[in-house]
Amino acid sequence: MKEFIQSLPKVELHLHLEGTLEPELMFELAKRNHIDIPFNSIAEVRGAYSFHNLQSFLDIYFQGANVLINEQDFFDLTWAYLLRCQDDNVLHTEVFFDPQTHTERGISFETVINGIHRALVQGTTELGISSKLIMCFLRHLDEESAFKTLQQAQRHQDKIVAVGLDSSEIGHPPAKFERVFKQAINLGFLTVAHAGEEGEASNISEALNLLKISRIDHGVRCSEDEELVKQLVRERIPLTVCPLSNIKLKVFDSMEQHNIVDLLRRGVCVTINSDDPAYFGGYMVNNFLAVVNAHPINKAEIAQFTFNAIEASFVNKHEKERLR
Ligand code: HPA
Ligand code: ZN
């Protein structure tokens, strides 16, 4: 099974570039940029990666991002992730970045996007890995900050395919960003949103109805609303599920209790993704293995995760044929 999963072609649709910052690179960038970090060793950093909910993770995740200063840092971060894609036979990836995490501390939007974009282009030419870039708004910040970020993105619309919504779900429902998403759609961006990760199923319906999203990031709490699950099946609305993330952030008590295989068998377009692999214990292969080790599942079902991801991706029909 391990070889089958290793060699299975994969498509990733839920990956935060800031969440790929491995402790080794964190130390290297801290040194390069003369930034103090509150850790003395790599082991100490890994020891701090024990979370009890989404917020306890986000606090560490935002702190880690402080070492990213120059365009080259964003290039190095993105390139290191693409090399992991190559290791895990990921052929196509649609990655998130959080510009506000950086602009709020004085790094320019251009520094961030130019470093990321250069690495993604090189990933295509040198590694044969195609990609799309999705800009997420931090939902704990206000609407005004999101509008400002959307404005900054307009100059780079050739590099950004969609906008998304991440950070603290509870207390920051989709409705808070209805007007921002409306403008993004008018400008020609596709939309996605984290919903139903820690927050309730109604956030999923709200994101679908108000933000007109093409797919739901996480969405695992859909199970709490039978009518919603039926809608997801009927309308083939994809969920970008992140199994290891859900266990690390205590969305489920154990992988055995995770609902991803149940949702797959009920006909929901579920996909497997790594979210923040440097923090949650693994990239794509490890996420597939974690699911398979906890749930009896056959090879055709495992391959269905990839077929679902191709279907849910933002590439054109021609590209979908190539990935199949
Ligand atoms: N949820 C919300 N925000 C995030 C996540 C997540 O899983 N990862 C990075 N930002
Ligand atoms: Zn996420």
What residues have a C-beta under 5 A from ligand 2, the ion?
Answer: 275
pLDDT at 258: 98
Q: Which ligand is nearest to the CA of 244?
A: 1
- What is residue 154's predicted lDDT score, i.e. its pLDDT? 98
pLDDT, residue 206, reads 98
Instruction: Give, for ligand 1, the residue of 17, 194, 241 to mutate: max count of ligand atoms closer than 8 Å to Cβ.
Output: 194
Domain residue ranges of the chain, discontinuous segments joined by +: 2-314
As a whole number of Å, the end-to-end CA separation of the chain is 21
Q: Assess whether the C-beta atom of 19 lies below 6 angstroms from ligand 1.
A: yes
The preferred substitution site among 60, 97, 167 for testing ligand 1, maximizing ligand atoms within 8 Å of CB, is 167
pLDDT tens column, 142-192: 999 999 999 999 999 999 999 999 999 999 999 999 999 999 999 999 999
pLDDT at 135: 98
**Among all chains, which residue has been given the structure tokens 């619309």?**
157
Contact 275, 242 (CB under 8 A): yes
Please report the pLDDT score of residue 201 as a whole number.
Answer: 98
Question: What is the whole-number distance in angstroms between the Cα of residue 276 and the centre of ligand 2?
Answer: 7
The CATH architecture that domain 2-314 belongs to is: Alpha-Beta Barrel (3.20)
Burial label, 252 (beta-carbon count in 10 A; 0-12, 13-18, 19+): middle
Q: Does residue 20 have its Cβ closer than 6 Å to ligand 1? A: no
Two tokens at 53?
A: 């909910």
**Beta carbon of 275 within 6 Å of any ligand 1 atom:** yes
Residue 318 confidence (pLDDT): 96
Question: Looking at 19-23, 37-41, 65-69, which range is the least confident one?
Answer: 37-41
What is the pLDDT at residue 93?
A: 98
Q: Is 198 in the pocket of ligand 1 (CB under 6 A)?
A: no
Looking at residues 280-301, what average pLDDT do you find?
98
For residues 38 and 67, the answer to whether their CB atoms sit within 8 Å is no
Ligand 1, residues 53, 57, 60, 221: which to mutate, most atoms within 8 A of Cβ?
A: 57
CB of 18 closer than 6 A to ligand 1? no
Of the listed ligands, the closest to the CA of 240 is 2
CA of 155 to the centre of ligand 2 (A): 25
102 pLDDT band (50/70/90 cuts)? very high
* Residue whose pair of structure tokens reads 């971060």 in the numeric block: 77
The torsion angles phi and psi of 97, rounded to 5 degrees, stand at -135, 155
Q: Give pLDDT, residue 165.
A: 98
Q: Average pLDDT in the 296-303 region?
A: 98
Q: Give me the percent of the chain exceeding a pLDDT of 70.
A: 100
CA distance 243 to 280: 9
Residue nearest to atom 3 of ligand 1 (CA): 167
Report yes or no for ipTM above 0.90.
Answer: yes
pLDDT digits (tens, 9 = 90+) for 44-60: 999 999 999 999 999 99
- Residues 304/260, Cβ–Cβ less than 8 Å: no
Alpha helices in 8-134 (DSSP H): 23-32, 42-47, 54-64, 71-87, 99-103, 109-122
The verdict on whether 197 is a catalytic residue reads yes
Write the residue with the smallest CA distance to atom 4 of ligand 1.
Answer: 167
pLDDT class for 311, splitting at 50, 70, 90?
Answer: very high
* Predicted pLDDT at 313: 98
Token readout for 93 is 């990836």
Mean pLDDT computed over every residue of the chain: 97
Average pLDDT over residues 63-68: 97
**Using one digit for the tens of pLDDT, what is the confidence trace for 255-282?**
999 999 999 999 999 999 999 999 999 9
pLDDT at 18: 98
Binding residues for substrate: 276
Q: Which atom of ligand 1 is nearest to the CA of 61?
A: 9
Catalytic residue among 18, 94, 169, 197: 197
